[in-house]
Amino acid sequence: MHDLARNTISLIDGKRADAATAGDKSNFTAPLSDAKRQQFNAAYPNRLAVEHTHSQHNPEKDWGRDTLRAIEFAFYVLNEQFGTPGPHGEKMRTITKHNTVVIASSISNGAAAALAAAEQDEHGLIDGVAVTEPNIQVAARHDLIVKRGALNYSGGSKPLLDYSTFANLYQPCAALSTRAATSALPFSAAFVPFAQARCASLGDKGLLSTTTPAAQGEEALDKLLAYGWEPGTIPLHVSHWSLATPGIAMTYSNAHGRFSVADNLCSFSFAYTDAAGNVIAPLPTLATIFGAANGVPPPGGINIVNNNNPAAFGGPKFDRISASPSNNKFDFNLDGALCQRDLVTGRGENAARVQVGMQQAQRRGDRNLKPTIIVHGRDDALVPVNFSSRPYYAQHQRVRGHKSEMVYIEVTNAQHFDALLGVPGYAENYVPLHVYFNRALDAMYAHLTAGAALPPSQIVRTTPRGAVTMPIGASNVPSWLPTPPAAERIVFDGNMLTIPD
């Protein structure tokens, strides 16, 4: 986080320091001249620039390359520590890819990086891949059909920014659906008038055809399901919008388009805000943000600010309690969300920049020749299976066929955020996915070191514990089967991926 007003940054060891003297030891300094920074500060004081959002590098396009570099660096460090000493005190390269097992492995964005690295691994650094819930995308193939029981999906893979900006429009309104009434993280009464205003504004702009809040909530939810979210995600849309969707929309729209913080894209910025939503100077927590933040804002008191909040309502304010300037309605700033959506679907100059960046982040799906296990929770509302793992696996099967060593495991009653399983609502209804991540690592290691067979692609049926106080046991999270019955197998045939219901 670069505090632009005080010109301080985090050093690579996490300590805060002056950006002017930090040089290469800065973890991130916004690429702005002093004059440009001061001009921005005059217009928008107390704002923060964030590396993923404002580096102007579109980092996602290089995740595979960076993962491969990390492996090379790991070999260097291992040899420096444990390599055989040479005649002149140097360390010999005795730990190499030829005598070391390398598994590319992570979750979410890191899982996508592992898959990208496997596709780009021209020097055989990686032996196998084991990942969960990857934010992976391939060029859309609309001839692909995903069939799960009576549900058919043919929309193909979608980029995170695409479906996140779509969700950012409709998730707040969908909260009013009666089907979402059992939300895993129920919204407060204060949320309702904002959600009703969002529904009304969507109707005013022709994006909903119904006219009552109740009907509009149902229509908004139907739009999310038609776009490709699984029915099991219905209870999660409210909490995911509250926790993640707007931050992803802002971060990736800026990142893909390589916009500067000074570009004020869609009139959004990052800042600390007070209880009334007004921008304030950074809190002391900024000193520990290096260790407390995950890289995608807003963390620890930092919020998204609507710089276009009408002056009559106090000017720039915490986006969630601000108004749209086009209608002066407190509708969660629909104008800003529509601006971000237009970057994905529109034809303007800014949209062209973003769309090029989105394409640069797409993977092929057919070049990963490594043994691979992909695990994904069916109820993932943040990185839905229809946009990511399912089409990626199908594309690989389409090209590699019987030569494929890729396995896809889909877990019922599992969603994206295991960290929320201690929260009432999540705890009773969902199981941890991370246990399957560990099992995927174990299975891949056994395959690479002992020749153990990889499991067939299949559905794993879990049982939620039903109460916060209940322990999670083996019956809640059963292992996948070495030879599942035909009815439980995930199969690909021609252009159809069939998932057990």
- Residues 325-336: pLDDT tens digits? 999 999 999 999
Predicted TM-score (pTM) of this structure: 0.96
Reported as a single tens digit per residue, the pLDDT across 219-233 is 999 999 999 999 999
Share of the chain above pLDDT 70, in %: 98
Residues 426-434, mean pLDDT to the nearest whole number: 94
- Catalytic residue set: 108
Q: How confident is the model at residue 141 (pLDDT cuts 50, 70, 90)?
A: confident
Would you call the peptide bond into 298 cis, given omega within 30 degrees of 0 as the criterion? yes
* Alpha helices in 282-411, H assignment, sequence order: 289-292, 334-345, 349-360, 389-400
Q: What is the pLDDT of residue 139?
A: 85
- Please, are residues 273 and 314 in contact by the beta-carbon 8 Å criterion? no
Residues 28-49, mean pLDDT to the nearest whole number: 96
Please tell me the distance from the alpha carbon of residue 266 to that of residue 339, in angstroms, as a whole number.
6
Reported as a single tens digit per residue, the pLDDT across 435-452 is 999 999 999 999 999 999
State the average pLDDT for the chain.
Answer: 94
Q: What is the pLDDT of residue 301?
A: 80
- In order, the DSSP letters of 364-377 are -SS---S-EEEEEE
pLDDT at residue 283 above 90?
yes
Nearest alpha-carbon partner for 246 in 337, 324, 133? 337
b/e sequence 404-427, b meaning 16+ C-beta within 10 Å: bbbbbbbbbbbbbbbebbeeebbb
* Domains of the chain from N-terminus onward: 2-58+245-358 (no CATH), 101-153+362-499 (3.40.50), 160-243 (no CATH)
Q: How confident is the model at residue 185 (pLDDT cuts 50, 70, 90)?
A: low
- Beta strands per DSSP E along 111-192: 128-132, 145-148, 151-153
Please tell me the distance from the alpha carbon of residue 97 to that of residue 77, in angstroms, as a whole number.
14
